[in-house]
Amino acid sequence: MDRVAIVTGASSGIGRAIAHALGAEAISVVLAARREHLLRELASELDSQTLVVPTDMADQLQVRRLVDATVERWGRIDLVIGNAGIWHHASIEATEPSLWEEMIRVDYLANVWLTLAALPHMGSGSHIIFINSLAGFRGVPSEAPYAAAKHALAGFSSVARQELRSRGISVTSVHPGRVDTAPFESLRVPMVQQKQPPEVVAKAVLSAIHRPRPHIYVPAVRGRLYAWFGLLAPRVFDALARPFKLEGELD
């Protein structure tokens, strides 16, 4: 039987590219996000079997329904791709209290709820992949709620990886740098952070599916350098973040 994947945030950007990549591998795909019309449009483009489940990932009950609908249709889950996320660019002081909570819900807690609901239906050889960010290693100015949520997700993934190992379930954290998607359209970034097409991240996800690894950086070398530099030389990183305009500039 074909493998079954849940992709959250499939209606646009990276999630949409991942759904296309999975479809091309004949993997049955459950498409989740809030904008149902975009999910239906995407479903009509895929060659593999699809199931559209409009879902607000900020709502725990809806996340559970997403898993229930998948199990009702196919009786199993082989791949969970936790990709849905929001991003916001503002200083700490200019960020509304409600946004901190929303960011934690969508970028972090939704992935925990999804994992908890999906795990009873996942067997040996299955795989959970979270689309994190380089901000999950080291945040930059104007991205505090985002970096906080992605750090929480990184912590969750690393423990889930250790706990699920004995069950034969892999957990991969994918850490892209800047990607050319709608939320980042108006963000001008420095040369060192050139935006990549979402298809590059989808290709990295496929490579993780074929050869499970704990972390994938996109791009591989620059992403790894960024992560290690932030860890090994934090004071230098902090001093250089602003002069190198790593936070980018909104148009």
Ligand X SMILES: NC(=O)c1ccc[n+]([C@@H]2O[C@H](COP(=O)([O-])OP(=O)(O)OC[C@H]3O[C@@H](n4cnc5c(N)ncnc54)[C@H](OP(=O)(O)O)[C@@H]3O)[C@@H](O)[C@H]2O)c1
83 belongs to the binding site for ligand X (CB under 6 A): yes
Of 197 and 214, CB closest to ligand X: 197
Q: What type of residue is 205?
A: V
d(C-alpha 88, C-alpha 101), whole Å:
12
Of 179 and 216, CB closest to ligand X: 179
DSSP state of 175: E
Among 181, 193, 208, 216, binds ligand X (CB under 6 A): 181
Of 12 and 49, CB closest to ligand X: 12
230 belongs to the binding site for ligand X (CB under 6 A): no
CB of 74 vs ligand X, minimal distance in Å: 21
CB of 28 vs ligand X, minimal distance in Å: 19
Would you call 146 a catalytic residue per the annotation? yes
CB-based contact 247:141 (threshold 8 Å):
yes
Q: Find the DSSP H helices in 52-197.
A: 60-74, 97-103, 110-118, 144-164
Pick the closest to residue 174 from 2, 45, 1, 7 (CA basis). Answer: 7
Among 7, 11, 138, 223, binds ligand X (CB under 6 A): 11
Instruction: Build a one-symbol-per-residue string for 183-202: x at contacts with ligand X by CB under 6 A, - elsewhere.
Output: xx-------------x----
d(C-alpha 186, C-alpha 248), whole Å:
10
Instruction: Build a one-symbol-per-residue string for 101-140: x at contacts with ligand X by CB under 6 A, - elsewhere.
Output: -----x------------------------x-x-------
From 108, 146, 217, 226, active-site residue: 146
Q: Which stretch binds ligand X (CB under 6 A): 171-179, 205-213, 221-229, 237-245?
A: 171-179
Q: Find the DSSP H helices in 104-197.
A: 110-118, 144-164
Instruction: Build a one-symbol-per-residue string for 134-153: x at contacts with ligand X by CB under 6 A, - elsewhere.
Output: --------------------
Helix (H, G, I), strand (E, B) or coil at 148: helix
Percent helix, strand and coil across the chain, each rounded to 5? 50, 15, 30
Pick the closest to residue 140 from 230, 206, 213 (CA basis). Answer: 230
d(C-alpha 142, C-alpha 26), whole Å:
40
> Which 31-60 residues touch ligand X, going by CB under 6 A?
33-35, 55-58
Of 31 and 119, CB closest to ligand X: 31
Helix (H, G, I), strand (E, B) or coil at 129: strand
d(C-alpha 74, C-alpha 29), whole Å:
10
Summarize as ranges the residues that interact with ligand X (CB under 6 A): 9-15, 33-35, 55-58, 83-87, 106, 131, 133, 176, 178-179, 181-184, 198
The catalytic site residues sit at: 146
